Amino acid sequence: MGIRVRGLYDLQVIDLEIDEAERNLRVVESGLGESEELRSARESLAQASEWQAELRRRLRNLELDLEEAIEKRKASEKTLYSGKVKSPKELSGLEQEVQLLKRRQVEVEDETLEVMSQLETADERLERERKRLKRLEIEWGEEQAELQEKQAALSSRLSLLRESRERLQVAIDPEDLATYEDLRRRKGRQGVALVQNGICQGCGVAVSTSKVTRVLRGEELVHCANCERILYLKG
């Protein structure tokens, strides 16, 4: 009869590898998908584009305002100089209107210059945001490809490990397996501890000589008096 605990020890070696591969897989999978940086770059681009459209709208409206002011002024001037209006009150009213419309024209022209300068800045910002998003998308694409590769490698490694586990498990007494699983749950994923130089490697406490003898005999599961883990001595 072999050492009863050896199967459990071998199982634990695989279980710890499975734990690690699962941890790595979770990290890899959490990196898959749209990144926060990419989302915010898309948002910034949308905002920059909206702002540019808004300025273009303002510019078009100003052009219309300018046309309107010029046309109105021309019409007033035409009436003013037509000789048809004789009343001094009416004439001075028309003169005032022409002055007002000229001032309006200057105001609209000033505002147009201001909006054009803002639009120039907005165009530059939009171009910058476009380039930034493009760069991020390329980086993101490369990163995703790398992560997908890692994901595939980890998944196939995991299925191999799980197959090995299945094979090992068949040879283990179900009660021993249940004891091991219970300890693993309670003891930080480690149900079996090696004894080295008379010390339990699970908790660092010395194991009595009589226990070491029983561990060496290998007929039963011997537990550490301190941490409860199943003790194993590599032969």
Binding site for Zn ion (CB under 5 A): 200, 202-203, 224, 226-227
Ordered DSSP codes for 52-93: HHHHHHHHHHHHHHHHHHHHHHHHHHHHHHSS----HHHHHH
Contact 143, 32 (CB under 8 A): no
CB nearer Zn ion, residue 119 or residue 203: 203
Write down the least CB distance from residue 184 to Zn ion, Å: 14
Write down the least CB distance from residue 187 to Zn ion, Å: 9
Contact 85, 94 (CB under 8 A): yes
CB nearer Zn ion, residue 8 or residue 161: 8
CB nearer Zn ion, residue 62 or residue 224: 224
CB nearer Zn ion, residue 70 or residue 212: 212
| Distance, CA of 231 to CA of 183 (rounded, Å) | 12
| Distance, CA of 120 to CA of 234 (rounded, Å) | 76
CB nearer Zn ion, residue 96 or residue 196: 196
Write down the least CB distance from residue 23 to Zn ion, Å: 24
Write down the least CB distance from residue 182 to Zn ion, Å: 16
| Distance, CA of 129 to CA of 116 (rounded, Å) | 20
Write down the least CB distance from residue 153 to Zn ion, Å: 35
The CA angle 137-143-148, to the nearest 5 degrees, is: 120
Contact 18, 166 (CB under 8 A): no
